[in-house]
Amino acid sequence: MPAPAKFITYIDAHKDAFIARLGEAVAIPSVSGDPSHRPDVIKMSGYIKSLLEPLGVKVELKDVGMEKQPDGSELPLPPVVFGTLGDDPNKKTVLLYAHYDVQPALVSDGWNTDPFKLTPDKEGRLFGRGSTDDKGPLIAWINIVEAHVTQGIELPVNIKFCLEGMEESGSEGLDDLIEKEKDGFFKSCDCVCICDNYWMNDRTPCLTYGVRGMSYYRIIVSGPARDLHSGLFGNTVHEPMTDLILLMSKLVTPSGEIMIPGLDKLVAPLTDSEKKRYETIDFALTDIEEQVGAKIVLSDDKSQVLMGRMRNPSLSLHGIEGAFYGPGAKTVIPAKVQGKFSIRLVPNMTPENVDPLVIKYLYDEFAKLKSKNTLKIENIHAGKAWMADPDHWNYRAAIKATEEVYKKTPDLTREGGSIPVTLTFADVLGLNVLLLPMGRGDDGAHSTNEKLDTFNYIEGTKLLGTYLHEIAVTN
Amino acid sequence: MPAPAKFITYIDAHKDAFIARLGEAVAIPSVSGDPSHRPDVIKMSGYIKSLLEPLGVKVELKDVGMEKQPDGSELPLPPVVFGTLGDDPNKKTVLLYAHYDVQPALVSDGWNTDPFKLTPDKEGRLFGRGSTDDKGPLIAWINIVEAHVTQGIELPVNIKFCLEGMEESGSEGLDDLIEKEKDGFFKSCDCVCICDNYWMNDRTPCLTYGVRGMSYYRIIVSGPARDLHSGLFGNTVHEPMTDLILLMSKLVTPSGEIMIPGLDKLVAPLTDSEKKRYETIDFALTDIEEQVGAKIVLSDDKSQVLMGRMRNPSLSLHGIEGAFYGPGAKTVIPAKVQGKFSIRLVPNMTPENVDPLVIKYLYDEFAKLKSKNTLKIENIHAGKAWMADPDHWNYRAAIKATEEVYKKTPDLTREGGSIPVTLTFADVLGLNVLLLPMGRGDDGAHSTNEKLDTFNYIEGTKLLGTYLHEIAVTN
């Protein structure tokens, strides 16, 4: 069921008002990572409450406790804004997630305009910190509720809002709250929609149904009790760097294939329907070349490149702690070196089934070196992959809504990096989670001159509203 | 011809006076690396002049110009002290090199005593900065001249002193002066004796007839225009770190063998007489284990280990510039990384014959990777090896003198690191150069609590004096 014409008309008619409202939101510098801005983050939660309550949304500001500072002091965490609209047992209940905090921004970082003053240009691009990440989507949901309430359009679903203020700083407090409220606030939810990522390019809408996880390792090789001079001890003792570099060279080939035996068997097989998805995604190798600024794409095959990013694991060598890293020529034999690498995990890999393979392999390879140095391997950071079923009614409704608003079938994509809250909603609540992006790939979410196109803001508002109407009728 | 008994008696009788004189020298904090101490370095040259001139030595303080400071200002370089004693055409002329500057030293670095107050302990160890490096040997030469002049003992050789004040800071100005004076001040010299290194242990005197050279390289691999996020681009693009680590892994085996084809053919063959030298050197694997603080020696074969340090090249991997080097877990794909490694050169390797082999090999190996990244190899620092003929009369005289004073045949050793002035004397003046050490391997030359044993100071003074008498009669 497409959204009523009255809804679409209202959105178009209120374009200027909606931009002004986004401007109000951007003007509150709710930088969660900067303690001096914590009052602004908290102010932002009050601002949201002040918009939602007059529309009939029942709002609760959930206290999630204090944040420990490096100096030992404590700072209050901004509340998670819970909102409830409707409790009709005959309607589906959709959980809408967004965040109201932003990344830091200073004019001196290279902004062309004041980052906390939403500034349009001639092409209708709205520049400002948080415009696309994530105040645009958050305000859009409020605009949608306003359109329904003021125009007397019945909301086709019950809505639960979960709006957090610490997303840019590790979502502190949120996981515990979700766990605690899973049989409370979240009990009636039927599906989740998160509007907090981006199209793959500037042309084609997409829905995102998976993100990779990660296991981050360090390989520690220790030898002498202290750093040595290579003139005095070169070719005399086992050098930790020699061993470490050899071990690191056994992890991944120049074409990106992981060399650790058994890992490939953990990767979920590619089905025909999934394969077809990569073939039809609107994507060109030049998109990647532009993003990285060099012609270094691993393959000429579009599907292969997409699968490398979305559905296959990757292994990257990040660097070495303890070795010489400065400019110039230092003749040191470092005594203890730590090689850092990470593996991006995809279904059905988990830190639990990957760790033993990685660790055994590296110890086996080290044994072959016949070195007298000592080896230790540690997983220092781990997170699972997340993948939703893109054939679920939640996705089919979003596809339909996209086709209605953009006259295009959205690409079904997966992302290479992690979005931890996605996994929490899926695991703790056991719900299908949809990532339904509003902005474009070139919005510069964490960068200088972050922007949201007016086109994406207004059409995206229509899309999110239409999505609510579609889920009501999709099964 | 052993030194006259009168000489030996004088040295023993003046032990306390000689220690007091070394104390005066140590009390002048002639730290060449600290601009605020430059006046002290210059004062030290005057102190030496004030000791030499009353003994009949013709002294010249050679101005070697100014030193540019990082802030653009200029500081006068301390003069090189030239001294001449005797010009008998029937005698050999020996060039004696030492340096009068020292490394920095602060009590707060961990000294147990004031580093600029020579402090004896109960075992007769004389603690103080410069005690062994190199004021002890320098003052010993003056003591020797004093013994001859005051006792009316004829000096068996003509002496030329070349005493510099910038050795701990790159010997700035010295090479140019040697080049300029090769047909002037240095013209009549027949051999060189440098007393500025150490026994290999605390037991057995040695003569040192070679030091390794060095070629220091960087391997630069460039890919994307900027650092990338491994979640977004892992398994999508060619990662510079993957290529670099693979190249660095092809350089040296865990047992220290260099993998670059052709390098081994440049190494001078091992002769039987040289081989015998390693077998007889007083050295135990535990000496190395103690020095490095771990049981990581490459071989159980003593000669093999000594040859690894003294007569074979070594290749050490020092580190990577441009990669992640901090603690913790950063998910970066570095855009441009520079791997640093160096090769210690031995006869007949030179930077000129080694560079092409290294560079060709790395480009060939890189081609095998089929990477779209770009590679550049640079030699950023090079110095030749030096080796003297240990069968020269200069060495035979020193061996005889050592046997007379210490009742032991000295070990003939080569050092792993570089002593650049050695090479300049040998190359520019075309003379046999002898490294005749006074101190022990545990003196801690550049470290805290530097010391010289009274035994080594006094017997070493006898040794250096006896050496002068021996070269007079050795052909």
CATH number at residue B362: 3.30.70.360
> What 8-state DSSP symbol labels residue A204?
-
Q: Kindly write down the DSSP assignment for every residue of A268-308, as one continuous string.
A: PPPPHHHHHHHHHS---HHHHHHHHTSS-BS-S-HHHHHHH
Q: Are residues A434 and A453 in the same domain?
A: yes
Instruction: Report if residue B48 sits inside a domain.
Output: yes
Positive or negative torsion for Cα B225, B231, B237, B239 = positive
Examine the residue annotation and report whether A109 is marked as an active-site residue of this protein. no
Cβ-based contacts of B232 with chain A (< 8 Å): 309, 415-417
User: Of A201 and A28, which is predicted with more confidence?
Assistant: A28
Instruction: Report if residue B236 sits inside a domain.
Output: yes
pLDDT above 80: residue B424 = yes
Examine the residue annotation and report whether B274 is marked as an active-site residue of this protein. no
Q: State residue A262's pLDDT score.
A: 98
Instruction: Report if residue B286 sits inside a domain.
Output: no
Domain boundary among B336, B364, B383: B383
| Closest chain A CA to residue B379 | A329
> What 8-state DSSP symbol labels residue A131?
I
**For B326-385, what is each residue's pLDDT tens digit?**
988 888 999 999 999 999 999 999 999 999 999 999 999 999 999 999 999 999 989 899
Cβ-based contacts of A305 with chain B (< 8 Å): 236
User: Binding site annotation covers A175?
Assistant: no
CB A307 within 8 A of CB B190: no
Name residue B229's beta-bridge partners. Answer: B332
Whole-number Å distance between alpha carbons of B42 and B165? 8
Q: Are residues A217 and A124 in the same domain?
A: no
Name residue B191's beta-bridge partners. Answer: B94
Would you call A230 and B342 a contact, using CB atoms and an 8 Å cutoff?
A: yes
Instruction: Report if residue B45 sits inside a domain.
Output: yes
Q: State residue A469's pLDDT score.
A: 98
CB B88 within 8 A of CB B152: no
Q: At what angle do helices A272-280 and A302-310 cross, to 10 degrees?
A: 110
Instruction: Report if residue B304 sits inside a domain.
Output: no
A295: containing domain: 268-307
Q: Minimal CA–CA distance to B316: which of A219, A332, A222, A226?
A: A332
Cβ-based contacts of B340 with chain A (< 8 Å): 324, 329-330
Q: Are residues B177 and B198 in the same domain?
A: yes
Instruction: Report if residue B237 sits inside a domain.
Output: yes
Please provide the distance, in angstroms rounded to a whole number, between the alpha carbons at the two ends of chain A. Answer: 12
Instruction: Report if residue B205 sits inside a domain.
Output: yes
Instruction: Report if residue B303 sits inside a domain.
Output: no
Q: Are residues A196 and A207 in the same domain?
A: yes
3-state SS assignment for residue B89:
coil
Q: Are residues A139 and A48 in the same domain?
A: yes
Q: Are residues B199 and B222 in the same domain?
A: no
Q: Are residues A10 and A98 in the same domain?
A: yes
Mutate to test the interface with B, among A230, A297, A320 (most CBs of B within 10 A): A230
Q: State residue B148's pLDDT score.
A: 98
Report the gap between the CA of A286 and the closest CA in chain B (Å): 12
Report the gap between the CA of B54 and the closest CA in chain A (Å): 41
Would you call A319 and B298 a contact, using CB atoms and an 8 Å cutoff?
A: no
Share of chain A above pLDDT 70, in %: 100
Positive or negative torsion for Cα B194, B104, B131, B204 = negative
**For A396-445, what is each residue's pLDDT tens digit?**
999 999 999 999 999 999 988 777 899 999 999 999 999 999 999 889 88
| Domain total of chain A | 3
Picking from A245, A291, A381, the nearest residue to B329 by CB comes out as A381
Report the gap between the CA of A431 and the closest CA in chain B (Å): 25
A309 in contact with chain B, both atoms CB, cutoff 8 A = yes
Q: State residue A397's pLDDT score.
A: 98
Cβ-based contacts of B255 with chain A (< 8 Å): 238, 370
Q: Are residues B419 and B331 in the same domain?
A: no
Whole-number Å distance between alpha carbons of A112 and A105? 12
Q: Are residues A95 and A196 in the same domain?
A: yes
**For B375-387, what is each residue's pLDDT tens digit?**
999 999 898 999 9
Q: Are residues B351 and B397 in the same domain?
A: no
Q: Which of residues 179-238 of B touch A (CB under 8 A)?
A: 212, 214, 216, 223-226, 228-238
User: Binding site annotation covers A38?
Assistant: no
Report the gap between the CA of B89 and the closest CA in chain A (Å): 41
**For B30-53, what is each residue's pLDDT tens digit?**
999 999 999 999 999 999 999 999
Cβ-based contacts of A293 with chain B (< 8 Å): 224-226
B332 in contact with chain A, both atoms CB, cutoff 8 A = yes
**Could you tell me the pLDDT band of residue A2, with boundaries at 50, 70 and 90?**
confident
Domain boundary among B383, B407, B429: B383
Quick one: average pLDDT of A149-159?
97
Q: Are residues A30 and A168 in the same domain?
A: yes
CATH number at residue B11: 3.40.630.10
Would you call A319 and B318 a contact, using CB atoms and an 8 Å cutoff?
A: no
Domain boundary among B356, B383, B410: B383
Q: Are residues A30 and A70 in the same domain?
A: yes
Whole-number Å distance between alpha carbons of B316 and B212? 14
